[in-house]
Structure 1
Amino acid sequence: MHLERLRFKEINLADPFFDSLKAGYKEFPIWFAKKAEDFAYVFKNPQGTIDGFLYLKLENGPVSDTKPPLPSAHRLKVGTMKINAHGTKLGERFIKKIFDHAVFDKVEEVYVTVFSHHSPLIGLLERYGFHAAGTKESPNGTELVLVKQMKAAHADVVLDYPLIRLHDKRAYLLALHPQWHTRLLPDSILKNEDSDIVQDISHTNSIHKVYLAGMFGMEALRRGDVLLIYRTSDYQGAAHYRSVATSVCVVEEYRPIHSFETRDEFLTYCRPYSVFEEQELQRFWAERKYPHVVRFTYNLALRKRVTRKVMIEEVGLDSSARWGFMSLTHGQFVNIIRKGLTDEGLVIYQA
């Protein structure tokens, strides 16, 4: 899927994709022209025409043109979001991009206005914790105002996303070899620039992931368990410095491979979110070499890599243990994410 970050002046307003926006918002062409130097995310299909558009804007203060008004806050407004759905996961990718910006800019909430007849879009937003907070009247009609409070907890993995609920949850380290890590998570998380996390537009930058592994003990995983992703050494230097913690994820579901009755059921479950190619998945099914199938949400990238050396010498992890899949204490996990300069406001410590 070809997602680009472009200035408005680089985007073809004559593309038929924008026809419905022009019809729904009479002022849209004038607004579009005024945004010439601003950036938006654009998804183009293989034919080169547009199938998705996302514009985000930071705001400070109250929002007075809604009923009821929204109180003063540091907000991210989803100025425009439109998707032509063709069975892709583009909507979820846009949601991920919205939350990437929200986390990076440390906003208190995100809001969007949408007409009630756009029920698929409303359903998508509600799935990730947006709720109706009022209406907005304009010459174009009445729109719903949907708000996502970034630190509101719902006690649900997906509704809470990207929040991480640590209270009464177990934490584990999950090691990935570099070749799988590169496929599973955006390479930007291994760079030093914070803004790379926001600007990354790779196809791997999605909310949900499915991973297969064969490490002992993974059958203990349950919904809500927290995973610290650990990229093993690429052997370009000492493992003490080249092996690093990179990300935090939350388990949605664990399934043993034998719980799938047929190959097609297995492929249907894994294919949309897996890092593995179709032929790899078919081979895994035939060989049963990787019996553990884990689906999880990709919540946070650590802004600073935490090396194996630091985790041993400063956090107290056992250097003699097998760092494939292993349990972490509450204190060890918190210590590591603090060293990774993660926004602790996104971690719920108490009920």
Structure 2
Amino acid sequence: MDNLKYISFKDFDHNDTFFSSLKQNYREFGDWLTKKANDDEFAYVLYGEGGIDGFMYLKVEDIVSDVTPPLPHGRHLKIGTFKFNARGTLRGQRFLKKAFDFAVKEKVDDIYVTVFSEHENLISMFKTYGFQVHGVKETPNGTEYVFIRSLHAVTGDILKDYPIVVARGKQKYMLGIYPEFHTRLFPDSILKNENSNIVEDVSHANSIHKVYLCAMRGVMNMHRGDVMLIYRTSDNQGAARHRAVATSVCVIEEVKNIREFSSLEEFLYYCSKFSIFTKNELISFYRTQRYPFIIKFTYNIAFKKRPNRAILIDNVGLNESDYWGFMPLNDAQFAQIIELGEVDESLVVN
């Protein structure tokens, strides 16, 4: 299992073979690493079994005039250096989620990145999440494309808008998840004495997309673009009124019935990339069909404050006698829970 860390430039090996291609393509790269270490700056470093497997440096800038045309006036997040050894499809997405988290935390207007045209897979990933060509950057190493992603514009495409949640006109629901699954599924929404600082979170489970299996029939009523609040059920260390809490906002990509898969292999291929469940758990679920409903969704926002069951009943007006495993919400209830969760207003379009 690899490990993504946010660490000082002083604390990783600049001579790791991972950086060889960057030093070949960018003659000044070695000196740049040394300068950043001397300036006590930080970067995201992904460690695999054999050493460094991924790297991303982020920088907030107010004026960007070294690209053509210059970026508009505002606050920009630059993905300054970005490389990872691709194994599967999750690594780039995990880094990108970190960039979005960082951008939200720093309240920037947009994120931009410069990429050489030959990095087609990287460009494809950026386009998937709403990055568009802005212009070019001329460097001693050649011409790079400049891709930019606004954090204010809304397209109506749930991936191109991520992490913004377009709630207007959509159905809203609340899904209850047991604590042992919740911690594995939503690392940014961990509770109590676990470290919940988004920038320092090093959980391997940090990805944009999630897959969850359950047996609650109502979930099959959900459609792409519907909004789902996550409710962490009680850990039985006290009364549920105080221990069970709402934690996160997600957007539905699709919902499937396990019977739609023609084979175990097809089922595993669909679920394993984004699921918190182990391969053995998934095999067991497929064979027993104990959890026949499969929800694929994007993990958009972790609440800053987590309203508990008592507040959801007393303040929001949810019915204590209703089934809290899966519950439809009206627009007013959703808006009130979002407000109680202290969600950044710019991230939800009501």
Q: TM-score range by the shorter chain?
A: over 0.9
2:54 aligns to what? 52
Confirm or deny: 8 A CA contact 1:217 1:325 kept in the other structure.
yes
- Superposition pairs of residues 185-264 of structure 1, within 5 angstroms: 185-186=186-187, 189-191=190-192, 196-264=197-265
**Quick one: distance in 2 between partners of 1:191 and 1:142?**
48
CA deviation after TM superposition for structure 1 residue 216, in Å: 2.7
**Quick one: distance in 1 between partners of 2:89 and 2:324?**
35
Opposite residue 177 of structure 2, the aligned amino acid is L
For 2:61, what is the secondary structure of its paired residue?
strand
Confirm or deny: 8 A CA contact 1:188 1:200 kept in the other structure.
no
Question: Residue 38 of structure 1 is aligned with which of 38, 41, 48?
Answer: 41
**Quick one: distance in 2 between partners of 1:173 and 1:195?**
22
2:329 aligns to what? 328
**Quick one: distance in 1 between partners of 2:133 and 2:31?**
29
Structural RMSD (CA):
1.4
Does residue 11 (structure 1) correspond to residue 22 (structure 2)? The answer is no
TM-score normalized by the length of structure 1: 0.96
**Quick one: distance in 2 between partners of 1:123 and 1:282?**
32
Confirm or deny: 8 A CA contact 2:183 2:190 kept in the other structure.
no
Q: Percent identity?
A: 52
**Quick one: distance in 2 between partners of 1:263 and 1:26?**
49
2:182 aligns to what? 181
Structure 1: gaps (5+ residues): none
CA deviation after TM superposition for structure 1 residue 193, in Å: 9.4
TM-score normalized by the length of structure 2: 0.96
For 2:198, what is the secondary structure of its paired residue?
helix
For 1:92, what is the secondary structure of its paired residue?
helix
1:307 aligns to what? 308
CA deviation after TM superposition for structure 1 residue 231, in Å: 0.1
Confirm or deny: 8 A CA contact 2:5 2:200 kept in the other structure.
no
Does residue 118 (structure 1) correspond to residue 119 (structure 2)? The answer is yes
CA deviation after TM superposition for structure 1 residue 74, in Å: 1.1
Deviations 1:194-215 (CA, angstroms, capped at 9, x unpaired): 9612211101111110000001
Confirm or deny: 8 A CA contact 1:188 1:196 kept in the other structure.
no
Confirm or deny: 8 A CA contact 1:209 1:273 kept in the other structure.
yes
For 1:157, what is the secondary structure of its paired residue?
coil
For 1:258, what is the secondary structure of its paired residue?
helix
C-alpha distance 166-194 of structure 1, shift in aligned 2 (>3 A): farther
Q: Between Structure 1 and Structure 2, how many residues are aligned?
A: 347
2:148 aligns to what? 147
After TM superposition, the runs of 4+ consecutive aligned structure 1 residues lying more than 6 A away are: 192-195
